[in-house]
């Protein structure tokens, strides 16, 4: 039977060429969209991890309850010892402390009096220890508008909008006013090392960046940190590996009732990331269903046209004694074979384009020449094992549904009219 159907498809191009092309285009579209969305999701997850969540994050239980407020009075203490423990237990993970804080940034005039003030949101990274890649991770160097990176203690990086509004340049002195982790007022003078543009209006209005040791001195947080971020090997997030590390770490403190005991969270457990990832999965399912329906309608029409052209063929087969249900089954088998051929062709072209976009990406930096942003200006696809079979689902199903609907015409064939037609 397979040989019979295969010969019919190969010898009669008018029967199979258009359906194969339609299925191939549909499968190609599915794979291209799936790979691109996966790449965009991967980029979003990595960007979120770099700036907000890490692949893993350690904080106190009390801090976790109010983590949206970044409460430094509930910060981790003895972080040097804790990080050494983390590195010993999980040596493949890169661990780095960070502190988030807020306050006022004061701009003095030539006489040292206040010229301007503005609210500031600060983040402290470990730049000067040389033990991590924080600057590279957050894309700080390419986001510098003027000046340079923090090279020495007592330096600060401020946002571009703030610098423009208050006429601040690299080398100027500024004063930061805030409160320590114990609630006392604190202030310190810094030299502006550089001006950065984040690409986020809220941050560009008044964000500042410090080295973590300067922040600890400012906030009276010696050997403390609000959060410890963990990054898996090659900066690649693996849900199962992250869950394994989190479970193993948290089991060490399961019997500890102290609110200041450390707690580890995965990326999905922070900032609504679980809901975001689940939403994108649902979007992919909806896209697949819509494509199956659209292709089925197209292939149904194609099948109807082909069925009209093959009307006499059906009549001859019926006149020779072939049952209608057997003809219908052969049409379905033929549709599955055509769907398979189209799916293979669509998968090959879709995988090829996905691999190309994964390696080279779509670079839109040309339209952003005058914009410094801490984001990757290249959109990339992502190759996963599911790319090799995801297209067969709509490709095969849509062809089968289209042929099943069109093949109903076989049962409407009036056998009594056969001899008249044959005459």
Write out pLDDT tens, residues 46-61: 888 888 888 999 999 9
Residues of the chain above pLDDT 70, percent: 80
Give yes or no for residue 93 having a pLDDT over 90. yes
Q: Which two tokens stand for residue 144?
A: 């510098």
The radius of gyration computed from the CA coordinates of the chain, to the nearest angstrom, equals 32
From residue 351, how far is each of 42, 87, 355 by CA, in Å? 18, 39, 6
Phi and psi torsions of 31, nearest 5°: -65, -40
Task: Say what the pLDDT of residue 201 is.
Answer: 62
Give yes or no for residue 422 having a pLDDT over 60. no
Task: Say what the pLDDT of residue 251 is.
Answer: 93
Top-confidence residue, 423 or 48: 48
Q: Which two tokens stand for residue 137?
A: 């991770």
Q: Confidence band (pLDDT; 50, 70, 90) for 371?
A: very low
Task: Say what the pLDDT of residue 409 is.
Answer: 64
From residue 378, how far is each of 6, 260, 370 by CA, in Å? 44, 41, 16
From residue 411, how far is each of 299, 314, 323, 328, 416 by CA, in Å? 19, 10, 10, 8, 13
Q: How confident is the model over 244-295, as pLDDT tens digits? A: 999 999 999 988 888 999 999 998 888 777 677 777 777 777 877 777 777 6
Q: How confident is the model over 16-29, as pLDDT tens digits? A: 777 788 888 888 88
3-class DSSP state of 77: strand
Task: Say what the pLDDT of residue 58 is.
Answer: 95
Q: Confidence band (pLDDT; 50, 70, 90) for 369?
A: very low
Top-confidence residue, 322 or 237: 237
Residues of the chain above pLDDT 90, percent: 31
Q: Which two tokens stand for residue 398?
A: 């849509």
Q: How many CB atoms lie within 10 A of CB 164?
A: 12
> What mean pLDDT value characterizes the chain?
81
* pTM (two decimals): 0.74
From residue 227, how far is each of 95, 138, 213, 373 by CA, in Å? 10, 16, 14, 25
Q: How many CB atoms lie within 10 A of CB 326?
A: 13
Task: Say what the pLDDT of residue 96 is.
Answer: 93
Classify the C-alpha dihedral 207-209-212-217 as positive or negative.
negative
Q: Which two tokens stand for residue 26?
A: 């549909």
Q: Cα separation of 70 and 61, whole Å?
A: 13
Strands (E), 232-309: 262-266
Looking at 49-174, list the stretches that DSSP marks H as alpha helix, in order from N- to C-terminal side.
61-65, 79-89, 134-137, 140-143, 160-166
Q: How many CB atoms lie within 10 A of CB 56?
A: 28
Q: Confidence band (pLDDT; 50, 70, 90) for 13?
A: low
Task: Say what the pLDDT of residue 373 is.
Answer: 44
């Amino acid at each position: 039977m397979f040989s019979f159907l295969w010969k019919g498809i190969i010898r009669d191009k008018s029967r199979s060429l258009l359906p194969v092309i339609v299925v191939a285009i549909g499968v190609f579209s599915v794979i291209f969209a799936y790979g691109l969305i996966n790449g965009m999701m991967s980029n979003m997850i990595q960007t979120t991890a770099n700036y907000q969540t890490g692949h893993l994050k350690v904080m106190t239980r009390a801090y976790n309850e109010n983590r949206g407020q970044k409460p430094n009075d509930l910060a981790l203490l003895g972080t040097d010892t804790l990080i050494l423990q983390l590195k010993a237990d999980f040596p493949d993970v890169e661990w780095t402390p960070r502190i988030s804080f807020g306050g006022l940034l004061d701009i003095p005039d030539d006489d040292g009096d206040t010229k301007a003030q503005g609210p500031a949101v600060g983040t402290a990274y470990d730049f000067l220890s040389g033990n991590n890649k924080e600057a590279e991770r957050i894309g700080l160097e390419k986001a510098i508008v003027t000046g340079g990176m923090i090279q020495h203690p007592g330096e600060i990086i401020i946002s571009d909008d703030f610098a423009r509004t208050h006429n601040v340049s690299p080398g100027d002195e500024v004063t930061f006013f805030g409160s320590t982790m114990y609630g006392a007022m604190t202030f310190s003078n810094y030299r502006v090392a550089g001006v950065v543009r984040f690409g986020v209006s809220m941050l560009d209005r008044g964000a500042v960046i410090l080295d973590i040791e300067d922040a600890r001195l400012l906030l009276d947080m010696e050997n403390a940190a609000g959060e410890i971020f963990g990054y898996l090997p090659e900066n690649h997030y693996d849900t199962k590996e992250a869950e394994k590390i989190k479970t193993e770490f948290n089991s060490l403190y399961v019997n500890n009732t102290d609110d200041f005991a450390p707690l580890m969270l995965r990326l999905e457990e922070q900032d609504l990331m679980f809901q975001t990832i689940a939403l994108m999965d649902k979007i992919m399912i909806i896209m697949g269903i819509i494509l199956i329906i659209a292709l089925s309608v197209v292939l149904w029409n194609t099948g109807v046209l082909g069925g009209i052209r093959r009307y006499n063929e059906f009549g001859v087969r019926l006149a020779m004694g072939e049952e209608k249900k057997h003809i219908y089954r052969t049409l379905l088998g033929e549709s599955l074979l055509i769907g398979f051929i189209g799916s293979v062709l669509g998968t090959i072209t879709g995988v090829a384009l996905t691999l190309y976009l994964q390696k080279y990406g779509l670079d839109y930096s040309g339209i952003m020449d005058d914009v410094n942003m801490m984001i990757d200006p290249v959109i990339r696809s992502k190759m996963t094992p599911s790319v090799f079979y995801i297209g067969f689902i709509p490709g095969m199903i849509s062809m089968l549904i289209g042929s099943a609907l069109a093949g109903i015409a076989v049962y409407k064939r009036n056998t009594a009219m056969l001899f008249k037609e044959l005459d």
